[in-house]
């Protein structure tokens, strides 16, 4: 069982930055592809970004491409989401999740989820 705990959320003005962290309870996080998701109206949890287990590939939703950067430190069992140039529409609870599936942009294929961290961007 993998337990994930997000941190780093908060209130920031538009144009500001936040760095989210996701810490795992096990030393096997390096075996999983790690993603970040956020709720979207009528769409459940929307894909934001993912990093493959070796850290050699990353993918982003079009809405965040060029502004967000996902990274991981397998030695610390931690995944990060650096969010720059934040917009009010980025306001959401952000969840990190782990999957061993090859398809990485679908929430229903993720095995483990954190409880989320709130990000609020004021205009």
Cα 64 to chain center, whole Å?
11
pLDDT of the residue at 54: 85
pLDDT of the residue at 62: 97
User: What is the per-residue pLDDT across 79-95, written as a single tens digit (0 to 9) for each?
Assistant: 999 999 999 999 999 99
How far apart (Å, rounded) are the C-alpha atoms in residues 71 and 122?
A: 26
Two structure tokens written together for 108: 């229903």
Q: Are 57 and 51 in contact (CB under 8 A)?
A: yes
User: What is the per-residue pLDDT across 29-77, written as a single tens digit (0 to 9) for each?
Assistant: 788 999 999 998 888 999 999 999 888 899 999 999 999 999 999 889 9
């Amino acid at each position: 069982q993998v337990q994930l705990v997000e941190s780093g959320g908060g209130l920031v003005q538009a144009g500001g930055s936040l760095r989210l962290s996701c810490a795992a309870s096990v030393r096997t996080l390096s075996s999983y592809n790690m993603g970040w998701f956020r709720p979207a109206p009528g769409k459940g949890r929307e894909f934001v970004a993912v990093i493959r287990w070796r850290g050699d590939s990353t993918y982003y939703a079009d809405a965040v491409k060029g502004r967000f950067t996902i990274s991981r430190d397998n030695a610390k069992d931690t995944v990060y989401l650096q969010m720059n140039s934040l917009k009010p529409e980025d306001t959401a609870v952000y969840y990190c999740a782990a999957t061993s599936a090859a398809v990485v942009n679908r929430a229903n294929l993720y095995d483990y989820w954190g409880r989320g961290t709130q990000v609020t961007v004021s205009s």
